[in-house]
Structure 1
Amino acid sequence: MSSAEPRDRTPRMTLERAVELNSPITEFAVSMRPADDLLIKVNGVVNLRANTGELYEGVDDMTFVRSFTGVRRVTLGGVTAEAVDGTVNLSNGLSLSAHTSSITTLGICTSGRELLLISASEGGNIRLWDVRTGQQRRFAAQQSPATSVLDYVGPDGRPRIVSGGPDGTLYIWDPRLPAAPLAGVVSTRGFNDRVAVQDLLDRQALVTALTEVLEPGDGPTVITLEGAWGSGKSTVLEFVRGKLTRDPDESRRGRKLTAFAADLMLYRPPKPTRFFKNPDKPLVAFFNPWQHQSSEQVWAGLASAVTTAAEPAIIPDQNAKEQYWFAKNVHRVDRMHLRRQMWKRIYSPLLSFAGLGFGLSLLGALTKLNLTWAWWATAGLAGVGLLHTARRYFFGRASAFLPGELFTGPIASTAFSAPGTDPVLRDPYYRAKAGYLYLVQHDVKTLLEDLAGHGYQVVVLIDDLDRCTPRTTAQVFEAINVFLSNDFPYTRFVLGVDTSVVASHVDHAYKELADAEVVAHPDDPSPGWTFLRKLVQLPVRLPRTTEDTVDAVLTAHLGEIHQEDAEEPVLFEGTKPTIHKQVDDVIADQPEQVVVVIERHTEVRTHLRRRLAAQPEHSVREQKRLLNVWQFYLRVLGSSDVTLACHLVVVAEIAVRWPAYLHRLRGGWQVLADAVGDDVRWGATIARLGFAYSDRKAAANLRELLRDCDAQAVARLANRLF
């Protein structure tokens, strides 16, 4: 390396061979024949085999590509590079301090789909540059000025660089650049809309703060987690739920509730037994009101959610669960009637046979028949029957002889019972009350009192409230107001809502109230917003999703982007290349070219990221929709072509962003693409396609998208698919 050049830590090219020709090299060329048998023509007369350095004795009757010699200006990838002394100025605004000596020539190196700039200098240095970033990618040094450079594709599919100068030595360099991976078919199968299992949007700090607010103690009673559809409310609620969930109670198993114990409890109802310990975390119930419509259904759902959450936390096993609910329910039933029914079911059928045997024995005695054996058989049956009955009574599980509803939760009988409820249940308490809502509220209140008596605080997470009908939304808020009354134990709520939608629902549900506008807050646009203001103590607005999260979403759903081969520099600073006239090195067998599934291909991923980052709303839900459409139509086309996949990203974006206009665009894709560059023609085209004045914003956004891509290619694809 010339002492005129500074030391360089850039990865160096491998000198594959150097051939001494004993005459200055003014130009050379590489043949356009198969890569495994390329020829090099030097100064128009000498032909060498590029892969071995041997002389070629055949006929010179093929086409050659000439070297870059003394070239000061080149254009690659839309960027123009111009050499001025030792500096390269780029049209994208970058300036490369390439060499300390004068630049002799510029060239272009093609690596897969990537174009790199070659710069060579009087000092004998050859450098490869990424003109997009200004980064130096490779470096090499020969013993004399490098005045001619050229690249070609070697037998392994990777680029090679030929250089030469006045000392008459031809150098062939291997820059060790990766071969372009072959794209394989799409492998992922699309994505659902379930909550994420990992934090893709970096909201861990928000989750931690919200969890700390909900720890047992005083704090806001109603908290809203606010954001638009698809902003991640459900995922944050699930993360909070995971942090607050208690570990299973490891206390010892409860004793089996026998028929004998149940009989005593029916005779004299006890107070509910205490089965649980003081907790260190709140009890979390999860309720989705989307599945409920009427007031009765909303309250039934809330009761079920609280009960489901409470049971595993406060009741350690099935035995304790049966004892707890039976002790609660015996206060509500006709106990004497239930005891009679239980005894009928405990009574052994063998006693019936013993009674029949006694009748036969008595008949034999009256007719003076010798039926001594019958007396013994009857006595045996009676004894076994008594033992069987006693065993059932003292050791049998009570749930085997009484209705199962008594042991699984609060019961409701008569008109309020579910279909199939056991007819022996008679609940005079329920019959004495006015309606179903009162009954369910009483159940929930009783359960909450039991929990509060032992130190438990209940947190109810409510999701998808903005998907409900206005009436259901109002019913949920009415239920929350009941919980917040002084009659109910302390209960806290966290609601995932789109506040604009929920406020509109409240306005709609109470539009008939005469004083709605009177009670509205002066800073609120409608009474619905004022209602939320009064109900909610801590409104938490989710941070806006930005383009910075696109990479995390793509990696989580499509996998890591394909990484090119690691750098393999073999020469180090200060090392001189070895010159030889014959080949004395062996080219190692190269591995097969890598095949990469198309969604992990570098170019495809770059295009996906750019289009997702350009979306007006960065919603993970919308990003999943776009990826689903893109992957589906890749399968429809059965293609693994990288260029087609990039164009298809735009087609998928159109389908996802403007579904209401697809029927208007059908058959008009080509005229739309033709008109995208002319204002007058564009306006006439969209008017002919049925776009009204109210659609002007959508039309302008669509035009902006088509300007940012190959509109003609996109139009051809859209005509095939739509």
Structure 2
Amino acid sequence: MSSAEPPSRMTLERVIQLGMPVTELSVSTRMEEGLLIQVNRGLYLYADTGELFDGDAYMTFLRGYTKALEVSLPGVIARATGSTVALSNGLSLNVHTRPITTLGVCDSRGVPLLISASEGGSIRLWDVRTGEQRRVGLQQSPTTSLVTYFGPDGKPRIAAGGPEGSLYIWNPQLPVSPRIGRVATRGFNDRVAVQDLLDRSALVSALANVLEPGEGPTVITVEGAWGSGKSTVLEFVRAALATDADKTTRGSRLTVFAADRMLYRPPVRDFEKTLKRTVQSRKNADKPLVASFNPWRHQSSEQVWAGLAKTVIAAAESALTPDLNAKERYWFANNAHRVDRRHLQRQLWKRIYSPLLSFAGLGFGLSLLGALTKLNVTWSWWTTAGLAALGVLHTARRYFFSRASAFLPGELFAGPVTSNAFAAAGTDPLIRDPYYNARSGHLYLVQHDVKAVLDDLAGRGYQLVLLIDDLDRCVPSTTAQVFEAINVFLSDDFPATRFVLGLDSSVVASHVDHAYKELADAKVVAHPDDPSPGWTFLRKLVQLPVRLPRTTEDNVDQVLLAQLGPVHREEQPAELSEFTFTGRSMPDYLAEAEDEQIVIAIERQPLVRDHLRRRLMAQPEQSVREEKRLLNVWQFYLRVLASADVDQACHLVVVAEIAVRWPAYLHRLRGAWVNLADAVEDDVEWGATIARLGYGYGDRKAAANLRKLLQDCNARAVADLANRLF
């Protein structure tokens, strides 16, 4: 097995001509006078310079590898036959073209690499866990003996020699491997994504183009299973359609005088002009106005209609009422038609009446009493006249210059006034709308409010685009209410309005079937190609169904990169400082070098990330939501175990997958994990074990998928972990 990209070349630091065949190599373990290489048990060379050492080498030497065709690495045994290396983990390495002369092991700080040398003179380094060829060195003579050691920069070196009498010192250019730290991520929520992880920019752009004001599909559905990214697509569409509000001059404040005139003679809508504007709105609209409505939060018909009206009105305010003055004037003018104007007008006059006039009246009474009793209180008449004049001026100032909202209930200036089912407990009795009681109830009034707002939006050149999400989460009655509301909007009386629904079509069709199951002719009206009337209802309502594409392998990589960060590769070295080696042993040097290493979170370790990627791509239902669930469970139990072990983290991925894929079966598997692991390769034993755990005929698919998963991993290690955690 070979890597997809050519391996990096090793650097040849020096060649030492010895004049004799190299039959054995060793390296010293202490460094008082510099590291020594022993050749054929009689010749000593300084490893750093290649110069001859003339003293007595009273120190311990570690032997290298000479014609070794079998070596052991952690968890793997490598055996060379001809030009091929077979690994006990099932991989095969066969890049050499000439027979292999010796194998060896190069320790790259906790990540042992296999060395293979051939008669052709090539030396190659391999990652035995993945079969990836990491480095290659080409020399002019075959290698039969080699030894590895650490150079002054803390990186490994390879000394290689053979029958031609030359000693080659290679620098594999391997980085100092980082230490593996504990998991750093703390889980992920289910909020709308802020970046496009699933490459749906083209789909979003096409949807936004279709939704530009003018003729086009009125009802569009963005369809997909739960967790497929419907909400994210709708949010991206909303951002793509966003337009800047019109720049308008600040309106004048609504004074008491203006409010009094409106209450005396409210502005009358020109219904003929409104009708013409409604007809022309589809052609004249040039700006989209986007509003989002989530019916999941409204579980009764009254709440659905009230929430829908509130959503439309809130979105319209940015276009119709750019400032506080315009907002107060707009809503007061609309509400003036639907309150007891005469009663409200009388109350307005009472509230602007200056207190000084009351004092003037009291002064007039006292002055009159003084005159009757023949007291000399001439000054009181002047005082009373002064108070009366000030009172009149104060009242006039309030009437002509004060803000009307300071003297009338605030509900009149904030939106359509409400009554009956929608009136709050503290609603001012002055504005309890008799129009609610006189008409057919809340439905008529909400429709009236929304239509009036849409008419005004059409007059300003806006076309409403209403995004409705999570329809498949609602109860069937709420789903039916939303569809009824859409039908009202689609009537000819309403200005052109566009709808984009995020839903799981199979769930919503089932809701429609349930909501209208009383209809005797439901099956009669069903389309012949549809399995139920609910599907036919969607067929008739929706002009453009958009099915979200499935998640691909590339999407999995993008999600992992966004959620867990980049994978740490050897091209991201942790450079060590230069050291002076005099008077220190090799273990002391290695300990100090270890302190200089960087620490990477375990989720960025290449083997762990590859295992996560492989298991996520093997999921039967690809969705970002399910991927987040698996990652959440995996990182949580890594924290429970306080683990930074690579093998354990890989096994824990399988444990997390079992927990999120088959939560309904976990109670059956408790205490039986080892039995399952032992039986996974035997058909008869597996069937008997599954039967003892209570799996029936209806559970056969889940049992088969569980077995397939356990066969794809170290089942016993996974069972031991599951026994600890569940």
C-alpha deviation, 1:149, in angstroms: 2.5
Check whether the contact 1:254–1:320 (CA below 8 A) recurs between aligned residues.
yes
C-alpha deviation, 1:47, in angstroms: 5.9
- Superposed, which structure 2 residues align to 1:143-154 within 5 Å? 144-152=141-149
Q: What is the aligned partner in structure 1 of residue 620 from structure 2?
A: 616
- Report the Cα distance in structure 2 between the residues aligned to 1:56 and 1:15, rounded to whole angstroms: 27
- Could you say what secondary structure the match of 1:519 adopts? coil
- Report the Cα distance in structure 1 between the residues aligned to 2:351 and 2:109, rounded to whole angstroms: 83
C-alpha deviation, 1:627, in angstroms: 0.9
2:692 corresponds to 1:680: no
Q: What is the aligned partner in structure 2 of residue 314 from structure 1?
A: 320
C-alpha deviation, 1:313, in angstroms: 2.0
Check whether the contact 2:214–2:286 (CA below 8 A) recurs between aligned residues.
no
C-alpha deviation, 1:377, in angstroms: 3.5
Check whether the contact 1:88–1:97 (CA below 8 A) recurs between aligned residues.
no
User: Percent identity of the aligned residues?
Assistant: 70
The one-letter amino acid of 1:328's match is N
1:126–1:348: structure 2 CA closer, same or farther, 3 Å change rule? Answer: same
2:562 corresponds to 1:553: no
Check whether the contact 2:421–2:442 (CA below 8 A) recurs between aligned residues.
no
Unaligned runs of 5+ in 1: 1-8, 569-586
- Report the Cα distance in structure 1 between the residues aligned to 2:367 and 2:516, rounded to whole angstroms: 80
The correspondence for 1:69, drawn from 62, 67, 70, is 67
- Report the Cα distance in structure 2 between the residues aligned to 1:268 and 1:664, rounded to whole angstroms: 76
1:440–1:615: structure 2 CA closer, same or farther, 3 Å change rule? Answer: same
Q: What is the aligned partner in structure 1 of residue 262 from structure 2?
A: 265
- Could you say what secondary structure the match of 2:545 adopts? strand
- Could you say what secondary structure the match of 1:375 adopts? helix
The one-character-per-residue Cα deviations of 1:70-116 (angstroms, maximum 9, x if unpaired) are: 7499999869675657x8899857752557xx764444444356565
2:443 corresponds to 1:437: yes
Q: What is the aligned partner in structure 2 of residue 404 from structure 1?
A: 410
Q: What is the aligned partner in structure 1 of residue 468 from structure 2?
A: 462
Q: What is the aligned partner in structure 1 of residue 95 from structure 2?
A: 96
- Superposed, which structure 2 residues align to 1:171-210 within 5 Å? 171-210=168-207
C-alpha deviation, 1:503, in angstroms: 0.7
- Superposed, which structure 2 residues align to 1:483-498 within 5 Å? 483-498=489-504
Check whether the contact 2:567–2:606 (CA below 8 A) recurs between aligned residues.
yes
1:437–1:281: structure 2 CA closer, same or farther, 3 Å change rule? Answer: same
Check whether the contact 2:70–2:77 (CA below 8 A) recurs between aligned residues.
no
Q: What is the aligned partner in structure 1 of residue 230 from structure 2?
A: 233
- Report the Cα distance in structure 2 between the residues aligned to 1:504 and 1:327, rounded to whole angstroms: 44
2:512 corresponds to 1:514: no
- Superposed, which structure 2 residues align to 1:161-560 within 5 Å? 161-271=158-268, 280-413=286-419, 416-560=422-566
The one-character-per-residue Cα deviations of 1:435-487 (angstroms, maximum 9, x if unpaired) are: 11111111112222222234322111110000000111111111111212222
Which of 36-45 and 640-649 deviates more? 36-45
C-alpha deviation, 1:266, in angstroms: 1.1
C-alpha deviation, 1:121, in angstroms: 4.8
Which of 452-461 and 511-520 deviates more? 452-461
1:421–1:37: structure 2 CA closer, same or farther, 3 Å change rule? Answer: farther
- Could you say what secondary structure the match of 1:457 adopts? strand
- Report the Cα distance in structure 1 between the residues aligned to 2:33 and 2:188, rounded to whole angstroms: 44
- Report the Cα distance in structure 2 between the residues aligned to 1:322 and 1:114, rounded to whole angstroms: 71
1:517–1:143: structure 2 CA closer, same or farther, 3 Å change rule? Answer: closer
Check whether the contact 2:86–2:93 (CA below 8 A) recurs between aligned residues.
yes
Check whether the contact 2:126–2:135 (CA below 8 A) recurs between aligned residues.
yes
Check whether the contact 1:79–1:92 (CA below 8 A) recurs between aligned residues.
no
2:668 corresponds to 1:664: yes
- Could you say what secondary structure the match of 2:501 adopts? strand
The one-character-per-residue Cα deviations of 1:487-531 (angstroms, maximum 9, x if unpaired) are: 222222111110110111111111121111111111111111111
- Report the Cα distance in structure 1 between the residues aligned to 2:358 and 2:66, rounded to whole angstroms: 112
1:552–1:691: structure 2 CA closer, same or farther, 3 Å change rule? Answer: same
Check whether the contact 1:40–1:50 (CA below 8 A) recurs between aligned residues.
yes
The correspondence for 1:714, drawn from 708, 711, 718, is 718
2:643 corresponds to 1:628: no
1:430–1:518: structure 2 CA closer, same or farther, 3 Å change rule? Answer: same
1:134–1:56: structure 2 CA closer, same or farther, 3 Å change rule? Answer: farther
Check whether the contact 2:85–2:92 (CA below 8 A) recurs between aligned residues.
no
- Report the Cα distance in structure 2 between the residues aligned to 1:36 and 1:354, rounded to whole angstroms: 112
TM-score (norm 1): 0.87
- Report the Cα distance in structure 1 between the residues aligned to 2:379 and 2:570, rounded to whole angstroms: 96
C-alpha deviation, 1:611, in angstroms: 1.2
The one-letter amino acid of 2:405's match is S
C-alpha deviation, 1:128, in angstroms: 3.5
2:701 corresponds to 1:697: yes
- Could you say what secondary structure the match of 1:705 adopts? helix
The one-character-per-residue Cα deviations of 1:44-79 (angstroms, maximum 9, x if unpaired) are: 4556675676578455667x4441427499999869
- Report the Cα distance in structure 1 between the residues aligned to 2:649 and 2:239, rounded to whole angstroms: 39
Length, aligned pairs only: 693
- Report the Cα distance in structure 1 between the residues aligned to 2:707 and 2:135, rounded to whole angstroms: 41
The one-letter amino acid of 2:461's match is G
The one-letter amino acid of 2:424's match is A
Check whether the contact 1:35–1:154 (CA below 8 A) recurs between aligned residues.
no
Which of 160-169 and 662-671 deviates more? 160-169
The one-character-per-residue Cα deviations of 1:579-629 (angstroms, maximum 9, x if unpaired) are: xxxxxxxx9997921211222222221111111111111110000111111
- Could you say what secondary structure the match of 2:22 adopts? coil
- Report the Cα distance in structure 2 between the residues aligned to 1:145 and 1:684, rounded to whole angstroms: 57
Check whether the contact 1:69–1:149 (CA below 8 A) recurs between aligned residues.
no
C-alpha deviation, 1:417, in angstroms: 2.5
Q: What is the aligned partner in structure 2 of residue 4 from structure 1?
A: none
C-alpha deviation, 1:345, in angstroms: 0.9
C-alpha deviation, 1:674, in angstroms: 2.2
Which of 198-207 and 313-322 deviates more? 313-322
1:227–1:34: structure 2 CA closer, same or farther, 3 Å change rule? Answer: farther
RMSD of aligned alpha carbons: 3.5
C-alpha deviation, 1:719, in angstroms: 1.8
The one-letter amino acid of 2:623's match is S
- Report the Cα distance in structure 2 between the residues aligned to 1:142 and 1:523, rounded to whole angstroms: 72
Which of 41-50 and 549-558 deviates more? 41-50
- Report the Cα distance in structure 2 between the residues aligned to 1:35 and 1:121, rounded to whole angstroms: 35
TM-score (norm 2): 0.87
C-alpha deviation, 1:154, in angstroms: 5.3
C-alpha deviation, 1:124, in angstroms: 4.5
